[in-house]
């Protein structure tokens, strides 16, 4: 077999392949020939770029059209690199650039056709065999047309060779045609494929809100607020917001009112870092908060005091519990929803404790008396740790009482009590009651005052 040189014609993305098969005189190719071939491929890549009028970055077309400055684009890309998210979502939400314009920019760069989201598009079921939707959602690609002879693939980055090789291994089609799309549109196609028509995209929800009129909660009347909070679009917006946060693995959802006429912002905390999920028009922010208060059984007429509550939901067949806290601010009420996995607590052995710490906790939890304090900042896993310990010692021979605000995770075999400070049913009051109710183990959700701490110490000595 004679020697060959195969060189990609590449300038950011693959534009072609240069193949040298024969050499005059039938001699083998040398390193000098390889160097010359590389120079030729680079020259061809630049010429191809020029002839095709292609851009040098996925979003350069937007800069050329004065939709965004190069410095602003660089800031957006740096923000996404640090905190995650997608460039296209920020461009649409913060800069008002429509999806088709962003799609055109991607088309000019990747030199493949752009496909936008089409609600009634039927995906090829033949190509979805043995492929999980969660896998496609995570890897941001899906087959949108074709069959095993030629599959048409929608992907957010057609220059990602590693993903393309993986796609070829997964689908095993004879030929492939690639199309470029926005990450948000790919997710919407996949949601449709799961049969979740009720969970429309945020754009569709906001369109329905506009159709129902610009409403703003101004009246203090509970009936009027409840009516606004119960409009179909607001209900759908809250459901959609919680579903999206759950899919992205968020631990918390923050609903924050904007200053003056600025839109409200919904942020989610993923892996400990807050990032923006969407903006809510000012006229709908109050109704959104009211809806959250309705589902968590809070007093929607009281907007001057902080309130705490919880609610249970089912998202895609999985039960979720939400712990809700509302706080009045100078711009209006703000709400924070913590997403909790409903049902059984995490077993102690799955908390990823070191072996010495695990053995020590097992030993301490077996003592008939004493005090075990679990402390740490918000979100560090205090409740999860305590639940794991209670699950470990929860046997028929032990009577266990808990006082919590709110009761986050319900567990069979425990007597769990919700404290109500409004009627003076505090942690201290609950502990006094527990001591008269023949306890073996008492769990107190918080020790933030002298009285509760004092009773706790005394209880641990009895």
Mean pLDDT for back-to-back runs of 10 residues, the chain (462 residues): 74 72 73 84 73 71 89 87 82 89 90 87 81 81 90 91 85 89 89 49 58 41 48 78 82 91 89 84 87 87 87 72 90 90 71 88 87 85 85 89 80 87 86 90 89 88 79
Instruction: Please report the pLDDT score of residue 315 as a whole number.
Output: 66
Instruction: Give the length of the chain.
Output: 462
Instruction: Please report the pLDDT score of residue 55 as a whole number.
Output: 64
Pure H helices in 7-155: 31-52, 60-64, 70-83, 87-95, 99-110, 133-139
pTM of the model: 0.45
Q: Give the dihedral sign, CA 177/179/183/187.
A: negative
CA dist., res. 321 & res. 101, Å (int): 40
Residue pointed to by tokens 């392949």: 17
Q: Please work out, in degrees rounded to the nearest 5, the angle formed at the alpha carbon of residue 38 by the alpha carbons of 35 and 43.
A: 130
What CATH fold (topology level) applies to the domain 202-341? Answer: Beta-Lactamase (3.30.450)
Q: Which of 328, 273, 351, 357 is nearest to 84 (CA)?
A: 273
What CATH fold (topology level) applies to the domain 112-193? Answer: GMP Synthetase; Chain A, domain 3 (3.30.300)
Instruction: Please report the pLDDT score of residue 203 as a whole number.
Output: 57
CA dist., res. 448 & res. 412, Å (int): 27
Instruction: Please report the pLDDT score of residue 329 as a whole number.
Output: 93
Instruction: Please report the pLDDT score of residue 198 as a whole number.
Output: 35
HSE-CB at 278 with a 13 A cutoff on CA atoms is 19
Q: For residue 367, what are the contacts with CB-CB under 8 A and spacing of at least 6?
A: none
Instruction: Please report the pLDDT score of residue 220 as a whole number.
Output: 40
Angle formed by the axes of helices 202-211 and 232-247, nearest 10°: 170
**Which part of the chain is CATH 3.40.50.300?**
348-461
What CATH fold (topology level) applies to the domain 348-461? Answer: Rossmann fold (3.40.50)
Q: Please work out, in degrees rounded to the nearest 5, the angle formed at the alpha carbon of residue 244 by the alpha carbons of 258 and 262.
A: 10
**Which part of the chain is CATH 3.30.300.160?**
112-193
The torsion angles phi and psi of 19, rounded to 5 degrees, stand at -125, 125
Q: Which of 208, 406, 254 is nearest to 321 (CA)?
A: 406
Instruction: Please report the pLDDT score of residue 333 as a whole number.
Output: 92
What are the b/e assignments for 339-376, b being 16+ CB within 10 Å? Answer: bbebeebbebeebebeeeeeeebeeebeeeeeeeeeee
Instruction: Please report the pLDDT score of residue 86 as a whole number.
Output: 85
Which own/partner pairs from 349-355 qualify as long-range (CB within 8 Å, at least 24 positions apart)?
350/388, 351/381, 351/384, 351/385, 351/388
């Amino acid at each position: 077999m004679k020697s060959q040189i195969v060189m990609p014609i590449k300038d950011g993305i693959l534009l072609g392949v240069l193949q040298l098969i024969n050499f005059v005189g039938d001699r083998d190719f040398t390193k000098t020939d390889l160097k010359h071939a590389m120079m030729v491929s680079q020259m061809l890549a630049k010429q191809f770029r020029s002839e095709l009028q292609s851009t040098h970055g996925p979003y350069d077309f937007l800069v050329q059209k004065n939709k965004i400055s190069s410095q602003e684009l660089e800031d957006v890309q740096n923000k996404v690199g640090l905190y995650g998210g997608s460039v296209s979502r920020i461009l649409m939400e913060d800069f008002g650039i429509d999806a088709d314009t962003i799609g055109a920019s991607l088309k000019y760069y990747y030199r493949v056709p752009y496909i936008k989201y089409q609600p009634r598009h039927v995906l090829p079921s033949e190509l979805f065999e043995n492929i999980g939707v969660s896998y496609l959602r995570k890897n941001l690609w899906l087959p949108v047309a074709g069959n095993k002879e030629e599959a048409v693939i929608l992907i957010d980055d057609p220059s990602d060779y590693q993903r393309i090789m993986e796609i070829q291994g997964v689908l095993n089609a004879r030929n492939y045609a690639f199309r470029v799309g926005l990450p948000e549109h790919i997710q919407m196609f996949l949601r449709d494929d799961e049969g979740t028509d009720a969970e429309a995209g945020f754009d569709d929800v906001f369109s329905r809100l506009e159709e129902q009129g610009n409403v703003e909660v101004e009246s203090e009347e509970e009936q009027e607020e409840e009516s606004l909070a119960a409009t179909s679009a607001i209900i759908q917006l809250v459901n959609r917001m919680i579903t999206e946060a759950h899919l992205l693995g968020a631990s918390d959802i923050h609903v924050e009112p904007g200053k003056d006429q600025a839109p409200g912002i919904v942020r989610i905390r993923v892996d400990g870092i807050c990032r923006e999920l969407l903006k809510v028009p000012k006229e709908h922010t109050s109704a959104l908060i009211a809806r959250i208060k309705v589902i968590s059984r809070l007093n929607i007429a009281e907007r001057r005091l902080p309130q705490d509550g919880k609610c249970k939901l089912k998202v895609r067949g999985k039960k979720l519990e939400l712990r809700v806290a509302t706080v009045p601010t100078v711009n209006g009420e703000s709400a924070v929803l913590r997403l909790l996995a409903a049902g059984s607590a995490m077993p102690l052995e799955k908390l990823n404790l070191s072996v010495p710490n695990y053995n020590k906790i097992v030993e301490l939890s077996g003592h008939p008396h004493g005090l075990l304090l679990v402390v740490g900042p918000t979100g560090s896993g205090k409740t999860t740790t305590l639940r794991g310990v209670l699950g470990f010692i929860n046997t028929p021979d032990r009577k266990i009482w808990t006082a919590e605000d709110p009761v986050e995770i319900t567990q069979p075999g425990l007597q769990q009590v919700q404290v109500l400070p409004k009627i003076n049913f505090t942690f201290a009051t609950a502990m006094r009651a527990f001591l008269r109710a023949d306890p073996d183990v008492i769990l107190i959700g918080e020790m933030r005052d002298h009285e509760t701490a004092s009773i706790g110490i005394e209880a641990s000595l009895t």
